[in-house]
Structure 1
Amino acid sequence: MVGGCKSAEKMVAPSQYRNWQPQYSLLPTAEFHGSQVTIRNVRYCKYLDGDTYVPNWYDKKIDVRNIRAVDFVLMPFPDVPALAHTQVSFEIAPPGETPQYLVVSAEVRKEVGEEYGPIKGSARQFELAYVVADERDSLLSQTNYRDRDVYLYRSTATAEQAQRMFVDMMARVNGLATRPEFYDTLTNNCTTNIVDHINRVQPQRLTYDYRVLLPGLSDKLAYDQGLIERHGTFEQTKSQAYLNPRTALYDGKTDFSTFIRR
């Protein structure tokens, strides 16, 4: 009965005030001053093993004009590869400096003791969070500590389109910081939000089909619609995008984002 009451309560309205898992305890925000933006609460969880991590956050200042590209990231679910988590990573390249990368990811904002489930995700049982993260958090943690396959594709977006998408995503970040929403497995998830951002930047650029609802297949959709760079066939492109062999060699000394893109 206690669990049922909790479920009924959660279905009424989303909230910012729950007993969140540590990695979801803080939400990011973005403060704009012309082209300059300060992003608060960029997450960097340092993993010790698959379940143990030390959560950290930092603030980052960037000039939106230095965003040069955006990458598409796919992480299939091990047991059901037709399902996956998707996110994007923005390349920020100030003149004469090594490019930096920031991940933006729409996720379930899980409470302590809570696990994701697609059925629960359609029953207003999870809040939606946008996470802005360091790639060492969002990518390295999955490949080297959780043994998940990760694919990194360079999109075909121009620098101007990548900049507009970043600004649009930061507006969404700020909106969720003040107006919480429920996550929904079919209509308000990681992939549907990316599609919405793309289509706001380029109206009707990406059409909806079943591969949006089965995001483990969304890289093929992106390939077919020319949203990611092609390197031969789709199978060849996907093989080149596979990150795990590269992250397995990472020595922890060089810049991670540069290392995995060699």
Structure 2
Amino acid sequence: MLAPAIVLSAAWGGLALWYRLPLAGVFKSLAVAAFVVSALAALFVVRRLRRPALWVYLVAFAGVLLWWSTLRPSQTRVWADDVARHLHAQVDGDRVRLDNVRNFDWRSDDDYTPRWERREYDLARLQSADLVLSYWMGPAIAHTLVSFGFEDGRKLVFSVEIRKERGEQFSTLGGFFREFETTLVAADERDILRVRSNVRNEDVYLYRLRLPKAALRSLFLGYVAEAGELERQPSFYNTLTSNCTTIVFDLMRQIAPGLPLDYRLLLSGYLAEYAYDQDGLMPGYDYRTLHDRGRVTDRARAAGESSAFSELIREGVPGVAADQVRAR
């Protein structure tokens, strides 16, 4: 009966050591190997030695747990340029001032002109929110973003992302083991959507969310509150429980407490289908139509660096035509 527990705990402990132990490669390998050997000994040594071997493994695992409890997220690493600054917000009634809104000009992942801007928004003129899914690893996995639209035509995108260190790459498995901190990026669409469709060659879909004015405001301010919390207290990213999709669900559940849990919250590539089933997308269309007309990848690539990027990518997307007329 102990065997499954030993196998699972040893797998978790070995991966935790591999991803987070701050040792050079060979020493880290030796530490992981020693831990795994202690687990194997507890499983396979002859009967008369099994109890001592089990105690050795339990002490080793307790040591891993104790070390794990000491890991803390940081605000002071050498961050990659695109996540180097925290979003800072000041709210005064309907007026919101945001510092460090990202508006990079991307030519490639390694060639860009960084720009961080101060922007002000009037929540009384907030008129729309769009769910954006950017597919980077097959049909089941997508990055989730929400783009807010204002009556003057401006768009602002919120995106929960890993806060990479300079030179660091994302690892789905590493995201389970406190390898990354979390950041909340607020960005211009010509930055954060164009870099995904035009530079990283991801497949991007956009869906108009069906939200009344009060819910739009609550969702926007929910993101602002999350940014303030991360600015005050850093947090680890978690691939399963604290990621780009779970924050959207958590914020939406504050607006609609009855939203059910669903496997599509984990397989984020199907999140739009989940939103459709909850009557959260533009009414009057079947899901296939919303999906097909919501694919903005080709339009984004054709738009390039156009100042009308946001309008061009939305051509034909259900529910946005009236907004564009009002913005003009």
Confirm whether residue 187 of structure 1 aligns to residue 232 of structure 2: no
Q: Deviations over 1:84-113 (max 9, x none)?
A: 1101000111xxx3x111000111111112
Q: Output the amino acid matched with 1:81.
A: P
In 1, Cα distance between equivalents of 2:121 and 2:293: 30
Gaps of 5+ in 2: 1-17, 29-66, 316-328
> Cα–Cα, structure 1 residues 187 and 251, in superposed 2: closer, same or farther, change >3 Å?
closer
- What value does the CA root-mean-square deviation take over the aligned residues? 2.0
**In 2, distance between residues paired with 1:2 and 1:176?**
23
Is 1:58 aligned to residue 117 of structure 2?
Answer: yes
Displacement after TM superposition at 1:181 (Å): 0.4
Q: Distance in 2 between matches of 1:9 and 1:197?
A: 29
Q: CA deviation at 1:9?
A: 8.3
- Pairwise mapping of residues 149-160 of structure 1 onto structure 2 (< 5 A)? 149-160=203-214
Q: 1:188 to 1:248 in 2, by over 3 A?
A: same
Q: Distance in 2 between matches of 1:251 and 1:213?
A: 32
The partner residue of 1:252 within 305, 308, 314 is 305
Structure 1 distance, partners of 2:186, 2:105, is 15
- Asked whether the equivalents of residues 230 and 237 of structure 1 are also in contact (C-alpha less than 8 Å), the reply is no
What TM-score comes out, normalization by structure 1 length? 0.92
How far apart are the structure 2 equivalents of 1:48 and 1:10?
41
Richer in helix (by share) = 2
* Residue in structure 2 matched with residue 89 of structure 1 by the alignment: 147
What does residue 128 of structure 1 align with? 182
Distance 1:145 1:11, change over 3 A: farther
Instruction: Name which structure has the greater RCO, CA cutoff 8 Å, separation 6+.
Output: 1
- 1:221 corresponds to: 274
Who is 1:243 aligned against?
296
Q: 1:233 to 1:157 in 2, by over 3 A?
A: same
Label 1:238 to 1:5 Cα distance change in 2 as closer, same or farther (>3 A): same
Q: Is contact 1:46–1:54 with CA below 8 Å preserved after alignment? A: yes
Q: Which structure has the larger Rg?
A: 2
- Which one of the candidate residues 255, 261, 268 is aligned to 1:201? 255
The answer to whether the aligner puts 1:211 opposite 2:258 as a matched pair is no
**Cα contact 1:71–1:155 (8 A) shared by 2:** yes
Q: Is the 8 A contact 2:264 2:274 kept in 1?
A: yes
Do the aligned residues in 2 keep the contact of 1:231 with 1:237 (CA within 8 Å)? no
How many corresponding residue pairs? Answer: 256
- Alignment check: 8 A CA contact 1:10 1:124 kept: no
Contact kept, 8 Å, 1:11 with 1:125, in 2: the verdict is no
Matches within 5 A, 1:77-116: 77-78=136-137, 80-93=138-151, 97=152, 99-116=153-170
SS at match of 1:220: helix
Normalising by structure 2, what TM-score?
Answer: 0.74
The residue that corresponds to 1:177 in the other structure is: 231
Quote how far apart the aligned CAs of 1:72 are. 0.2
